[in-house]
A and B are shown apart, each in its own frame.
Chain A
């Protein structure tokens, strides 16, 4: 593998005119998988672009393998970038695209390197088709293959799960974890919190340009499942179900409305488990359970406050 895989940021800020996109972030990334989470506009892409040398920090220091990445294309010897934008040369076949990238890296055997990278992302079957005919998930994987072709120690992925179906998402997550196990530094950004449910590794949460929370995936996952929730529940016997629910410690409030039951739960995980049990015991059929405060901002705001 090429490079040590270390990314160091110290007090990095980036602003555009009066808008602060990234605000005083310090972090140190090494081998393993890290998820950079936050709502849209939190500054995740700006941070990734700075790491890949596509944007200079307005203030602070950012180094990849000990060297600044801005105006230093040499950084791509140790770093692979999977950009969010889906613009790939659609007229090339997957193999041509990855092989061209290998040639741009001046690899000794571009053909072999391309085939290996394509095998890693399991795209060999479709490698001879034009990229324009690929599905979203396939395009993401061929972009990962191109970013991997020179065996970099660092792989940066901007919203790699965007537009993927759940199966493709699982495959991609497995792939990233596999690569992290090989000792690579993997950093991916995502605005979909649920992605951490499956992930092992470190999580950095960004909100409004700042690093809001950071730590082990378990801690964040626990916070996520124990956060307070409001649900709208409709059942065959709302009043009976409401009475039973209010007796449970996980529930902090129940309101009967024409639309159904508004239930405030203190603990997401316990509530969802108990609700099923109560219905079964009372022979009540559950028609609908809708989370009603699932906006990403509220979830992130909760994480930040914790």
Chain B
């Protein structure tokens, strides 16, 4: 191609909107993240777990005799195991995996604000967790108790709270550490699983408790093991989500790459 042609092309490329890149949400980052997260090998984990959840629920419905099994199983296993793990895999995959393999550079080497990279990736992670975590939880509730039962609706609300708050925390972890999955697992097992059972104060800082407490606000059953009031759970879930995203955005603004000398 001749130089003159390239110059003309250059002139045409110059046209752009004058405003700085605005907004908290970037659809391009959102779409790419959806596809990238679904395309990773670890996606099979969050695609298989809902199948497992639904299969066990169907089995229990056929054989279980205790009337409390739907709340116990879908609370202890569904809300407290399946949802956090699904969110962990998706939330750390959305940003962390791209930081690890370097693909994120192609997003960061543009004038898009770093906060909007964080929020758009978070949004993609929430959508995927809703699809592969919250929706199956709702369907499992429906298998156990029917679509309009209070428990079913409660589980759906709890699962939505979990999808949002967990992903905010795991997206933050992705920016803070290269071992986001390990740190996230420790948080789930040690903080929420172990300490949360013994130390009351820990529950105020447990996303899992926001989720079951939100579910319990509608379902109203002691089998869910909810320990926070609806008000506390709601306020804390909102604070944790917003604070995590804000800190993640700030940290990503200082995202640095090391050279070959180290």
Contact = CB atoms under 8 A, between A and B. Distances in A.
Interface stretch (A59-67, A72-80, A244-252, A265-273): A72-80
A105 B16 contact: yes
Contacts of A19: 261-262
B147 interface: no
Interface string B235-259: 0000000000000000001111111
B41 interface: no
Contacts of A88: 103, 106
A40 B105 contact: no
A149 interface: yes
B26 interface: yes
A72 B112 CA distance: 10
Contacts of B9: 116, 119-120
Contacts of A89: 32, 35-36, 103, 106
Contacts of B103: 87-89
Contacts of B1: 119-120, 122, 178
A45 B260 contact: yes
B10 A73 contact: no
Nearest to A73: B111
B19 to A, nearest CB: 8
Contacts of A150: 13, 16
User: What size tier do the contact residues of chain A reach?
Assistant: 35 or more
B6 interface: yes
Contacts of A44: 259-260
B34 to A, nearest CB: 11
User: What size tier do the contact residues of chain B reach?
Assistant: 35 or more
Given A41-B261, A49-B259, A56-B256, A113 B13 contact: yes
Nearest to A71: B253
Interface stretch (A96-104, A279-287, A298-306): A96-104
Given A100-B32, A106-B16, A73 B114 contact: yes
Contacts of A104: 21, 26, 28-29, 107, 110-112
B111 A76 contact: yes
A119 B7 CA distance: 12
A182 B3 contact: yes
Contacts of A45: 257, 259-261
Contacts of B201: none
A55 B258 contact: yes
A132 B115 CA distance: 29
A204 to B, nearest CB: 15
Contact of B105 (A85, A100, A119): A85
Contacts of B14: 1-2, 151
Contact of A21 (B7, B101, B259): B259
14 contacts: A21-B262, A22-B259, A44-B259, A46-B259, A76-B111, A83-B105, A87-B101, A104-B21, A105-B21, A105-B110, A106-B16, A120-B1, A146-B106, A182-B7
Interface of B: 1, 3, 6-7, 9-10, 12-17, 19-21, 26-29, 32, 35-36, 39, 101-103, 105-114, 253-262
Given A73-B113, A104-B21, A178-B6, 11 more contacts: A19-B262, A41-B261, A55-B257, A80-B109, A83-B102, A83-B105, A108-B16, A146-B106, A150-B13, A182-B7, A209-B261
6 nearest CB pairs, A to B: A46-B259, A45-B259, A21-B261, A151-B13, A85-B102, A104-B110
